[in-house]
Chain A
């Protein structure tokens, strides 16, 4: 069974930093692109970042470029998101999500999600 378990959320002051982690199990982690998707309280879903299966490519939504950094450790089946220079509008539940792969190609929708970790930016 595919499992994605996020951790690391909490209260952080504006301008501060936080590292989120996602522990993956139940599948071959190194074969999949992975993503972070967030959801502000009471709002909809927003894709944040993608990372290629070998970590060689990263993509970000414009609003977090230069502030957030996605990374992975395939030996530890782990995905991370480093949040720097956080703002009030970064307050959200952050989900780790697996990009769909059908053994021939990748399609950037998400077939497995974690339960999320809440980041609150406030002084």
Chain B
């Protein structure tokens, strides 16, 4: 199975900050990576797919980059609604696997 490792596990930031989350795959997955946002008690929300494609309706504050084994999710200017947990997911191979999550909390 492909292992997905996110860093950091927790990130403390302030409104207006630019934040970056990293996701590393244990083997090359091309660009077959998605990012999700999850808030407590809710199902995840798709933000980014194919490493850098923004899902319809998602704020332009979110962007993704990377290919191969290293990927990043960037929030250009953190807003109060963005405090949540973020997950990456590879869909290059079965079984699809997720990173362990990065919690973005208020500093």
Q: Spell out A's residues near B (CB within 8 Å).
A: 4, 44-47, 59, 61-62, 95, 97, 100, 107-116
Contacts and interface: CB of A to CB of B under 8 A. Distances in A.
B96 interface: yes
A61 B2 CA distance: 13
Interface in B14-30: none
A108 B87 contact: no
A45 B98 contact: yes
Interface in B58-79: none
Contact of A114 (B36, B43, B91): B43
B55 interface: yes
Contacts, number: 56
Size category, B interface: 20 to 34
Interface in B85-104: 87, 89, 91, 94-101
A38 to B, nearest CB: 11
Given A44-B87, A45-B87, A45-B89, A110 B46 contact: yes
A113 B43 contact: yes
B42 A115 contact: yes
Nearest to A97: B43
Contacts of A110: 34, 36, 44, 46, 89
